[in-house]
Chain A
Amino acid sequence: MLEVSGLCAGYGSIPVLYDISLALGSGESLGILGHNGMGKTTLLRTLIGALPSSAGSIRFKGEDITRAAPHTRARRGIAYVPQGREIFPTLSAYDNLRLGLVKTGRKPDDALEALLDDFPRLKPLLERLGGSLSGGEQQLLALARALAGDPVLLLLDEPTEGIQPSIIEEIAETLAALRDRKGLTIVLVEQNLDFIAAVSQRVLVIRRGQIGDEIPREHLGDLEIVSQYTGVHA
């Protein structure tokens, strides 16, 4: 489904990612853990094409998309939920969701009904302006909007940030269900260990712009062991 090979990227002349390689099959979900500034957001932005890569290649469903523009990648079936949500503040929540649908050409009412069953908390908020929603509500909206386009690959950048604990559980359940029901492939960048353990099958560490070891599932609950993987000064 997704093959990344030798990927390098950065901002201007500041390199951030070095030689990133990973591969995901359809329906797999991968978690990426790492401290701030290690390149997690940069990796996702490069995968969606918001940031150009300086070397290496990205193949999606067998096709090379390394030079493809973000909207091309979106149309091919990659959805991205960025850190900071990026909700259109002057549009209603409903319109934000409709925008997520545009590329599929489906009619909003049917498609969104099904979507809102997965996100019932958004139902009373539909008429509200995106900018008037609370941070956590915006996060839910951003997630729903990405799923509205019926993607095959979902890139998530810290989706639990600012979300209350009970909703974090719900999102984890929803994502796990979507993964099982629709074979959704997921790349998840997170700091929340419980969430990443619930949603991902494999968890990799990113350190100083490079993909490091895989953290065995049984160790995900132990903060000290995880810290050793992610890197801590003694």
Chain B
Amino acid sequence: MSAPLPEQRTSIPVPGALERFSHSWKSAALTLAVGILLLAGLPYALDDFALVQATVYAVMALLAVSLGFVWGFGGILCFGQSAFFGLGAYTYAIAVTNLGDSTVPLLLSIVLPAAFAAVLGYLIFYGRLSDVYMGVITLTVTLILFNVVNSTAGPEWKIGHAPLGGFNGIPNIAPLNMPGNVDDVIGPRGMFELTVGALLVVYLLLRALLAVKLGRVIVACKENEQRAALLGYDSRAYKLFAFVLAAGIAGLAGCLFANWGAFTSPTIFGLAQSAQIIIWVIVGGLGTLVGPIVGCIAIQWLTTQIGTQQAINSNLVLGAILVVFVLMVPKGIVPSAGQLGVRLLKALRRGGRGSSAGSNEMVAQRPYGAAPAAEPEASHSAPNGSRKEPA
């Protein structure tokens, strides 16, 4: 190359330690380790009541992860994850009442919401409807489902042997049994282990997906759909895949929820449920998988605590939390806590070596859900021969 290479050595904006960690297998391993610890340990640490509480937290966390994935990594703000959640619950309830053995109902509770999402998603993505329409349509779908199911109270409304129950819901849902043996049903401890186990498996599956071509193209379509297309990737197909996968996960959560309470009702399709999932994800950290889990559990726990006293309405507190987080902790709990941790580590290290040149920490403006602020390359220092040439 004969043309000389122009000088290029300036600070290179690389991602910081936190981001490198969160993208590597190490963070997945850490989460897995913590998860296994909780899975094994909590049944011994908690009494039956608390264990049952923990189980529903895990079920909701699974639902939160489904939205965290499709929104944070797929770039699809689906206001209707609760639709797939509810479909999963109802599918399981109706199928197990009709079939007896729970194995097929469990599978159906994943497949049916996924199929529904496939049709809905096809219309939205292949029709190239904008993001706004995605939000409106998915929200409307939950409202429609709510209203339809709500009005099926009469005894004439049934699928096979299973009455839909309308606003009364479906009570006494048969719990999961060992495949093949209808009498060997799952107990509270088994439910806990199954749910947390499912949560961990889904988490690992999603992490693995995001590490290979399929997942990386999904993220690319979120980043810049036009460029993805110009490279030959059919963004409609990738988005549809992410949407359907998330629906299947939400459906699984619905099945587990129906098992947990042995009950399901139309409120599962309600606006409140849809909104809650979004709040969990925002508070926990959009753009991470662990964030929605943490956000969900934290808020659920808080809501329970507030619910036990009469002084403040829990919805008010929930709303206040959302406002505070959006204004002051926009990245959410997990990324912010991570950054705090990194800063603490740096400060501790610096304390040992003596202070470095002070410079105000500025938060770079990044799009929501994108990477946290970057750090300079290690070898960076003020260039030699500093010239101060006032004009």
Residues on A facing B (Cβ under 8 Å): 5, 8, 10-16, 18-19, 21-24, 30, 35-39, 52, 54-55, 202, 204, 207-214, 227, 230-234
List of A residues within 8 angstroms of B359 by Cβ: 8, 10, 13, 15, 54-55
Residue of B4, B10, B362, B387 touching A37 (CB-CB under 8 A): B10
CA distance A207 to B364 in the complex (A): 23
Q: Which 3 A-B pairs have the closest CB atoms?
A: A12-B373, A22-B391, A12-B364
CA distance A190 to B311 in the complex (A): 64
List of A residues within 8 angstroms of B360 by Cβ: 54
Give the residue among B376, B383, B387 with the most A Cβ atoms within 10 A. Answer: B387
Residue of B6, B362, B380 touching A233 (CB-CB under 8 A): B6
In addition to A11-B374, A13-B361, 8 A-B residue pairs with Cβ atoms within 8 Å of each other are A10-B362, A12-B373, A12-B374, A13-B376, A15-B380, A208-B10, A214-B389, A233-B6
CA distance A234 to B3 in the complex (A): 10
Within 8 Å of chain A (Cβ to Cβ): is B386?
yes
A19 and B388 within 8 A (CB):
yes
CA distance A212 to B387 in the complex (A): 7
Within 8 Å of chain A (Cβ to Cβ): is B37?
no
Can you offer 9 A-B residue contacts whose CB atoms are under 8 A? A12-B13, A13-B375, A14-B13, A14-B375, A54-B359, A212-B389, A214-B389, A230-B6, A234-B4
B390 and A21 within 8 A (CB):
yes
In B351-391, the 8 Å CB interface with A consists of 359-364, 373-376, 380, 382-383, 386-391
Within 8 Å of chain A (Cβ to Cβ): is B315?
no
A15 and B6 within 8 A (CB):
no
CA distance A230 to B5 in the complex (A): 12
List of A residues within 8 angstroms of B11 by Cβ: 10, 14-16
B388 and A21 within 8 A (CB):
yes
A35 and B374 within 8 A (CB):
no
List of B residues within 8 angstroms of A232 by Cβ: 4-7
In B1-40, the 8 Å CB interface with A consists of 4-11, 13
List of A residues within 8 angstroms of B391 by Cβ: 21-24, 30, 202, 204, 211, 214
List of A residues within 8 angstroms of B383 by Cβ: 18, 208-210
Shortest Cβ gap from A28 to chain B (Å): 9
CA distance A207 to B386 in the complex (A): 11
CA distance A216 to B8 in the complex (A): 24
Assess A52 versus B7: contact at CB under 8 Å? Given A13-B375, A204-B391.
no
Shortest Cβ gap from B272 to chain A (Å): 35
List of B residues within 8 angstroms of A23 by Cβ: 390-391
* Residue of B with least CB distance to A35: B6
Assess A231 versus B6: contact at CB under 8 Å? Given A14-B375, A15-B359.
yes
Residues on B facing A (Cβ under 8 Å): 4-11, 13, 359-364, 373-376, 380, 382-383, 386-391
List of A residues within 8 angstroms of B389 by Cβ: 21, 204, 211-214
Shortest Cβ gap from A62 to chain B (Å): 17
A208 and B363 within 8 A (CB):
no
A11 and B387 within 8 A (CB):
no
CA distance A204 to B390 in the complex (A): 10
A14 and B374 within 8 A (CB):
yes
CA distance A233 to B6 in the complex (A): 6
CA distance A14 to B375 in the complex (A): 6
Shortest Cβ gap from A37 to chain B (Å): 5
Shortest Cβ gap from A211 to chain B (Å): 5
List of A residues within 8 angstroms of B387 by Cβ: 210-213
List of B residues within 8 angstroms of A55 by Cβ: 359
List of A residues within 8 angstroms of B390 by Cβ: 5, 21-23
A35 and B7 within 8 A (CB):
yes
Shortest Cβ gap from B1 to chain A (Å): 11
* Residue of B with least CB distance to A22: B391
Shortest Cβ gap from B383 to chain A (Å): 5
CA distance A234 to B390 in the complex (A): 28
List of B residues within 8 angstroms of A210 by Cβ: 383, 386-388
B10 and A231 within 8 A (CB):
no
Shortest Cβ gap from B100 to chain A (Å): 59
CA distance A8 to B382 in the complex (A): 12
List of A residues within 8 angstroms of B380 by Cβ: 15
CA distance A207 to B11 in the complex (A): 12
* Residue of B with least CB distance to A55: B359
Assess A11 versus B6: contact at CB under 8 Å? Given A18-B386, A22-B390, A211-B391.
no
List of A residues within 8 angstroms of B8 by Cβ: 35-37
Shortest Cβ gap from B331 to chain A (Å): 13
List of A residues within 8 angstroms of B10 by Cβ: 16, 37-39, 208-209
List of B residues within 8 angstroms of A15 by Cβ: 11, 359, 376, 380
CA distance A3 to B11 in the complex (A): 26
Shortest Cβ gap from A226 to chain B (Å): 12
A233 and B364 within 8 A (CB):
no
Shortest Cβ gap from B362 to chain A (Å): 6
List of A residues within 8 angstroms of B382 by Cβ: 18
Shortest Cβ gap from A45 to chain B (Å): 11
Assess A12 versus B4: contact at CB under 8 Å? Given A39-B10, A211-B389.
no
List of B residues within 8 angstroms of A35 by Cβ: 6-8
Give the residue among A12, A23, A202, A227 with the most B Cβ atoms within 10 A. Answer: A12
Shortest Cβ gap from B248 to chain A (Å): 38
A11 and B7 within 8 A (CB):
no
A19 and B386 within 8 A (CB):
yes
B364 and A11 within 8 A (CB):
yes
B5 and A233 within 8 A (CB):
yes
List of B residues within 8 angstroms of A30 by Cβ: 391
A13 and B373 within 8 A (CB):
yes
* Residue of B with least CB distance to A23: B391
* Residue of A with least CB distance to B377: A14
List of B residues within 8 angstroms of A207 by Cβ: 7
